[in-house]
Structure 1
Amino acid sequence: MARRISVESVLRRIDGRGYKAYKDLTGASEDLGRLEIRVTRVQGDPFAPPSVVEVYVRGVSPPAGAHPVPYADYVHRLLSRVLPRYSMRGVGEGGSGRLSVPTPSPIIIPRSAVEAQPRGDGVWSLLLRVWAGLPSRGRRVLGRAARELLLERLPKAVLTVLDEVKGDGVEQHITVWKDQEHIRSRLEDMGLYAFVGDGSILPRKCGGCWEPLEDAVPFESPPSMRVEIELPSGKVVSGMGLPRGVTTITGPAFHGKTTLAEAIAQGVWNHIPGDGRELVVSDHMLAYVESENGRWVSCVDASPFIEALPGGVDTRCFTTPDASGATSIAASIQEYVEAGASGVLFDEDQTATNIIHRDVWAEEITGKRTVNPLSDMAPSMKKAGLSMIAVASGAMPLLESSDRIVVMDEFRARDATEKRMEASRVLREMGYRRAAKEYTRPSGRVVAEARVLEKPKVKGFVAEARNLKDRIDLRPLRQVEEEQQLSTALRAASVIASRKNASIAGLAREISSRLWRWDYSIITSRPGPELSYVRPIEIAFVVNRIPGLRACYGRYCL
């Protein structure tokens, strides 16, 4: 049995030595009764990314009926606010004396900063992971200051959080999460794909803000689309039910079409109390798609949407280093469906026009059609079990294919589905005929040639690695709420890309499932507080855009 190394004894021994002596703290721990402190990762320099310290908490008593995910999320939010108060100021250089965790976004998901594990008899344990800047001056160890930081200030901060976690706030947090989970579980039985609750505040304070817009018009559902759902809390809520199948959101410019669509796209996550979107709930596997000119594509079956390309290119294994607007949409839809997406959402402002609908007059001039647009493919996609939500104000063929048409006018929703018959009449008079192509789901692909990424990292909305000539644009991941999700998706994608013959979708699903259970072993042996849950479709998104990655399926692997 390995002998326990005491944090305090190590700090006494290395006091005053060069900064690299802090490495002796790796694996050291200190039992403080209810709390145990463990140092799992040590920085190499006071100006480098901070060290990682774990705090194991015993004997936690959550509210009756609590679920680990919202409880841990609430603790994380308290921890992110409390830690700065216990940081040391004016001590040493660089990040010396700082305690922190990533600031969580308004969504409630598992994150590595706080894990909650039931232990039986209503007693839980918590595992907290914190960034700590080990103090130094002149790159010399400040042992006494480090002891104060790790064994006095950090434990006091954690005990403060444990005191503050008691009360109505955490119970409301758990209740709101459970209500959203319940609504999502009811969608399929009710024939719905998304629910937008009456009174929801959909607009945000600014383009990149998390906070709701003050004085915004509360959402009100059209009477013909209004449904009621009874929540576990006993409350009955009403709102607009978007049916499975094809829904088009239309209306004049600047009247709220995109705002509604963005809220529905973000409805795949559960939101915190006060966010304004607590009653906007979508199928968890809805995927947002947009055109990505110039993206890498490897052996994707784009044949339902793309055909008759120059040179007889086989679109059943479509590969290109430079996709166009239409071919990138076709590839993305198939990649998302392969990874488990149940439907897609797109906005005409971000989508190539020729993949939305056909122009019959242009076809008369060219005499050739290479793209089967979404307006034509929508009925057969619905037959294949996929739903589609579109934002479009200038696509009559798409309106004609819709099961529901929602008009946004002065930020208020109106059901205009009866206009579909009029659209059908006009299209017939124009001689418009829908493409006869039937949609087919893609086959699962594998990594044909392993690609090991060297030191992958995320900067803003860009992923890069030392051995990648081109960077990966992550901006199309519009459903991701925080940078930690992007970093986690990149690390997971790096694992998949490094394994020859690995199933891209299968391994993405496995990693995502593990992330939900706070199991990070497949992507790292020493997690810090920087990891967040992502769905398999976010992981697959990154894998599929790694420049030069070779994928294949079936006979195309021979």
Structure 2
Amino acid sequence: MVASRARSASISGVLRRIDGRGYKAYRMLLGASERVGRLRLSVVRVQGDPFAPPSVVKATARLELPGWALRHPVAVADYIYRRLYRALQRHSARLGEGRSGFLGVPRPGPVMLRRSGVELDKSGLLVVRVWAGLPSRRRRVLGDAAEELLLERLPRAVEDAIRVDESSLRRHVDAWRLQEEVRSRLPGLGLVSFIGDGSILPRRCGGCDDPLPGAVPFESPPSLRVEVETSLGIVTGMGIRRGVTVIAGTAFHGKTTLLEAIQYGVYNHVPGDGRERVVTIREAVKVHAEDGRSIACVDVSTFVHSLPGGRDTRCFTTRDASGATSMAAAIQEAVEAGAKLILIDEDTSATNLLFYDERAAPLLRRKTVTTIAEQAASMASKGVSLVIVSSGSMPLIASADTVIVMEDYIPRDATDEARRLASRTSYAGYSLPADRVLVDVPRLAKPRLRGSWLVAKGLEEPLNLESNEQLVEEGQLRLLVALASRLESVKGMLMRDIVRRIDQDAGEGFQRLTGGEPGPGYAEVRGIDVVYMVNRIPGIRVHQAQKHVNE
């Protein structure tokens, strides 16, 4: 009866009725709505306690925007979201105990993402979702304060956010357009990534989003410079070609900085970030060693074989992987999910999987690993490109189609020099992984985010979601947690089909993706990121489908 009354009730009317009552009376707000100017406000989630996570209020409006803006609704929504974040900070005020009076959305990072806090379609329909702390004192409803919060402060913040400056909006949209157009042209140019001249790649500090003041602007070597034609003009920069690229150099000269720019180039960056002309194909996956992770029936035999006791590695399963087996599994899982570019940093890798010093062969006698260096050319011939950071491993350099040496943050094309110094000493064929069907997943009850860890009833141990180094915002972790409770819906599907399903649902909005009215705390992930998580959940059951033909 309470919910039924609330659906037809106004927010102000409910607040007048419950003023001074116990805090739980706020539940009568659920479903209540009210129009304030051009905004339609509705309460879609009500907190049970002033110290609990805040309530959720949704505002909808029809925006009158120029056609050039509506053609790129994700970019416009990202722009409005950033304005909303700042506006809510201004209009948020303490109005009692706990989180009373709080208004907010998660802080945005330097990349343009779909976020549940602001969604916009091509017709101009805007949906804004905001956390709101319902005011109380001594756990009693403060009706007047709540009315001020929901019907005055919140609408003003939303109006501030959508009152856009057209020139600033165009700059934001043009940055999005440029990156999207460059990305769409990469395959035709035979490239997997592009680093624009003049880009500022170093960050101000470890873990900082801001570009480093006074940093050396990126300048492509003439032999690797390409021109990309876009509707906004020609862009020049260094092209990373399909195949095997090794980024070499001594410590502290920018190797990892370049690789990080490439790995985050799967996203579009905001103007002023310094990396808004660094663009990578979306199907790029960073892999690294993960000692102790869970692996479920992954064919790692192309890398790992001849184990003691004759253990079969064509369906390798363990709850406690080593560095080499975890990294081999990560590569095969990524390729199975549709990755076309694998990114590797020697510093975070199992080096015995990267390369093998053949001078040690007489001493060791037995070889249990066929390295990436040996299989790199074969991987590239089967559509899997590699970008590997190495301080100077000759087996890796010998396997490369392109060698880039970083010196003082300036890249140098050292491919010809490398070929004179290093000749390929061994070659091995790479076997594509078998497709796997997700047969069953543990039932994860009440999944939640604790720091960067997924915890849930039914999960044997917490799962570190930040082992995926390409996630950039907490909202992405929150979305993965929400999707972890809905994995029943993808049982019986191939891993690569799960990727397609998630990507398709993500394009239709967060309500479709989460199966209900979302809060403001989610940011988009790729389907490949969801499968990355699924592969690491202890207790999943899979079986292999027919193996790929490896011509």
Q: Structure 1 length as normaliser, TM-score?
A: 0.94
**Quick one: which of 290, 293, 296 aligns to 1:295?**
293
Tell me how far 1:65 sits from its aligned partner. Answer: 4.6
For the 8 Å contact 2:179–2:276, the answer to whether it is kept is: yes
Tell me how far 1:520 sits from its aligned partner. Answer: 3.1
SS at match of 1:315: coil
Letter in 2 for 1:221: S
Letter in 1 for 2:151: L
Tell me how far 1:499 sits from its aligned partner. Answer: 5.3
**Quick one: which of 70, 94, 98 aligns to 2:102?**
98
For the 8 Å contact 1:490–1:542, the answer to whether it is kept is: no
* CA distance in 2 between partners of 1:325 and 1:544 (Å): 16
Tell me how far 1:362 sits from its aligned partner. Answer: 3.1
Gaps in structure 1 of 5+ consecutive residues: none
Cα RMSD between the aligned structures?
Answer: 1.8
Name 1:44's counterpart in structure 2.
48
Gaps in structure 2 of 5+ consecutive residues: none
SS at match of 2:478: helix
* CA distance in 2 between partners of 1:178 and 1:17 (Å): 52
Superposed counterparts of 1:123-202, under 5 Å? 124-163=124-163, 165-202=164-201
* CA distance in 1 between partners of 2:66 and 2:519 (Å): 24
* CA distance in 1 between partners of 2:64 and 2:131 (Å): 22
For the 8 Å contact 1:512–1:536, the answer to whether it is kept is: yes
SS at match of 1:131: strand
Name 1:261's counterpart in structure 2.
259
Q: 1:290 to 1:40 in 2, by over 3 A?
A: same
Letter in 2 for 1:78: R
Letter in 1 for 2:150: L
For the 8 Å contact 2:442–2:458, the answer to whether it is kept is: no
Name 1:86's counterpart in structure 2.
91
Superposed counterparts of 1:2-13, under 5 Å? 4-13=8-17
Matched, 1:333 2:323: no
Matched, 1:228 2:233: no
Q: 1:157 to 1:440 in 2, by over 3 A?
A: same
Name 2:521's counterpart in structure 1.
530
Tell me how far 1:372 sits from its aligned partner. Answer: 1.1
Letter in 2 for 1:133: G
Q: Which moved more, 1:70-79 or 1:478-487?
A: 478-487
Count of aligned positions: 542
Name 1:75's counterpart in structure 2.
80
Tell me the alpha carbon deviations over residues 163-205 of structure 1, each in whole angstroms, 9 at most, x when there is no partner: 2x13211110000000000000111111111111111000001
* CA distance in 2 between partners of 1:401 and 1:310 (Å): 29
Tell me the alpha carbon deviations over residues 396-437 of structure 1, each in whole angstroms, 9 at most, x when there is no partner: 111111110000011111000002322444x6xxxx433x3x
* CA distance in 2 between partners of 1:75 and 1:395 (Å): 47
Tell me the alpha carbon deviations over residues 15-69 of structure 1, each in whole angstroms, 9 at most, x when there is no partner: 1111111111111111234110010011111001000000001243245354100
Letter in 2 for 1:223: P
For the 8 Å contact 2:228–2:234, the answer to whether it is kept is: yes
For the 8 Å contact 1:511–1:522, the answer to whether it is kept is: yes
Tell me how far 1:379 sits from its aligned partner. Answer: 0.8
For the 8 Å contact 2:69–2:76, the answer to whether it is kept is: no
* CA distance in 2 between partners of 1:126 and 1:433 (Å): 58
**Quick one: which of 421, 435, 449 aligns to 1:458?**
449
Tell me how far 1:555 sits from its aligned partner. Answer: 7.9
Matched, 1:546 2:546: no
SS at match of 1:64: helix
Tell me how far 1:545 sits from its aligned partner. Answer: 0.8
Q: 1:496 to 1:362 in 2, by over 3 A?
A: farther
SS at match of 2:238: strand
Matched, 1:245 2:243: yes
Q: 1:494 to 1:373 in 2, by over 3 A?
A: farther
SS at match of 1:447: strand
Name 2:272's counterpart in structure 1.
274
For the 8 Å contact 2:444–2:484, the answer to whether it is kept is: no
Name 2:21's counterpart in structure 1.
17
* CA distance in 2 between partners of 1:82 and 1:166 (Å): 15
Q: Structure 2 length as normaliser, TM-score?
A: 0.95
